[in-house]
Chain A
Amino acid sequence: MRPRVFEETVLPHLDAAFNYARWLTRNDIEAEDVVQDACVRAMRFFSSLRDDDARAWLFTIVRNTWYSRVSRRGHVAVGSALNGGQDQWPDNALDPEERLLQQHTVTVVRAALEQLPVDFREVIVLREIEGLSYKEIAAVVGVPIGTVMSRLARARDRLQTILTLASPKETPR
């Protein structure tokens, strides 16, 4: 096997890294900074890249970079879903089979995703938009596969609720 070159191994995943960072930060400028820092780290630790999965490896570095920036700033608004996370979304207004998931524009979907707590948001993004397997998500997020499974299910429950509430009230029955 040829020696691996950073440009060929990691740079093809720059779009994916940026997309993930953009969804984590919800901000263009910050996502750029995170990805640039992450790439500097990736270059430094390039020799530690094993088992050929450069994309998941880069995601992990992006994630760690972002978390360390956030904690350095003492930012608390990250909004983890995992402590005391009861749904604030009332269930009683729902009429799921009728109104569910209809006529949502991209804007509505984006807004719904952005209001998910980050732990939920990232598993949805990694699964649905980046197409990672549970095993890969487990490696990036640093949790067991069973946790990925249950977190994803809860994230989809929450998203389903948000989108159902966001669907037009005047939808004919």
Chain B
Amino acid sequence: MSCELVERDLDAYLDRELDAESSAAVREHVRTCAACRRQFAQREALTRLVRGAPYYSAPDRLRARVFAQSTRSNSMRRVLTWAAAAVLVLSVGAGMTVWRPASSRGNVIANDVVSDHVRSLMADHLFDVQSTDLHTVKPWFLGKLDFSPPVVDLASIGFPLVGGRLDYVGGRPVAALVYQRQKHTINVFVSPERDDPSTRDLVLTVRGFNLHHWIHDGMSFWAVSDLNGAELSEFASALQAP
């Protein structure tokens, strides 16, 4: 691979957006070419620097205003829904079966996982135990759950453990482990594997959040975050093979 080609692909390589074959070609070239290696190092440094740029959180008054607007528009929608339902009942009359959308258990769980994640961020209840030390987090679950969740710290690859709490998924208590990637929070829900086999190894997006699900050593894991798919995959594979 020539330097020109590598230069073209270097950013995509850095962003893990290249396919495996091109990635390998860039990696090999960068290993042997000092100039491209230097350029790559500069790009990495730049990326680190920019990720430290300010993150502007929404001011409380904006949050309050938007919330008030949505509540108003909801009550309007509810009135319209009732009106539509009334029309339907009148026109169809008796003898109608209730229709419900099919939903697998995996879907229900995935929805629960996202709702828990959102709640943990909105209600400011991210931790019951706040610690970056896995020897503090792991024992904390003792006596609170009938299983012991595996806890690992991935700070060395940029996903520090920041704490844990108890939560509920599918009506069952689970261990929630909290990790951080820059400004993004990752919740990992761990419980003994009791779900049906069809929910094994899933990668999906629900309401804008990325989810990874896998089974390991008889435990079920759900990782959820607003982190992009590639980085969450990296996190999920690191957790599976620490």
Contacts and interface: CB of A to CB of B under 8 A. Distances in A.
Interface of B is mostly: helix
B96 interface: no
Contact of A109 (B43, B52, B63, B229): B52
Contacts of B229: 133
B115 A8 contact: yes
A12 B228 CA distance: 16
Contacts of B69: 36, 39-40, 43
A16 B38 CA distance: 33
A128 interface: yes
B66 A1 contact: no
A132 B208 CA distance: 11
Given A8-B115, A160-B46, A113 B65 contact: no
A5 B111 CA distance: 12
A26 to B, nearest CB: 10
Interface string A120-151: 00001001110111101000000000000100
Interface in A94-134: 96-97, 100-101, 104, 106, 109-110, 113, 124, 127-129, 131-134
B205 to A, nearest CB: 5
Interface string A71-101: 0000000000000000000000000110011
A101 B74 contact: no
Given A8-B118, A52-B205, A124-B50, A35 B62 contact: yes
Given A12-B121, A36-B65, A52 B11 contact: no
A18 B57 contact: yes
B54 interface: yes
Contacts of A5: 74
A165 interface: no
B17 A149 contact: yes
Contact of A53 (B11, B73, B111, B205): B205
A105 to B, nearest CB: 9
B182 to A, nearest CB: 7
A169 interface: no
Q: Is the interface of A mostly helix, strand, loop or mixed?
A: helix
A8 B209 CA distance: 12
Interface string A1-28: 1101111110111111111001100001
Interface string B97-120: 000010100010001000100100
B49 A109 contact: yes
B203 interface: no
B84 to A, nearest CB: 13
Nearest to A136: B228
Contacts of B82: none
A35 B207 contact: no
Interface string B3-17: 000001011100101
Interface string A32-70: 100110011001000000011111111000000000000
Closest 7 pairs between A and B when the two form their complex, measured CB to CB: A54-B208, A18-B58, A55-B208, A22-B56, A153-B11, A128-B50, A131-B228
Interface of A: 1-2, 4-9, 11-19, 22-23, 28, 31-32, 35-36, 39-40, 43, 51-58, 96-97, 100-101, 104, 106, 109-110, 113, 124, 127-129, 131-134, 136, 149, 152-153, 156, 159-160, 163
7 contacts: A11-B70, A14-B63, A36-B65, A54-B208, A110-B53, A113-B53, A127-B15
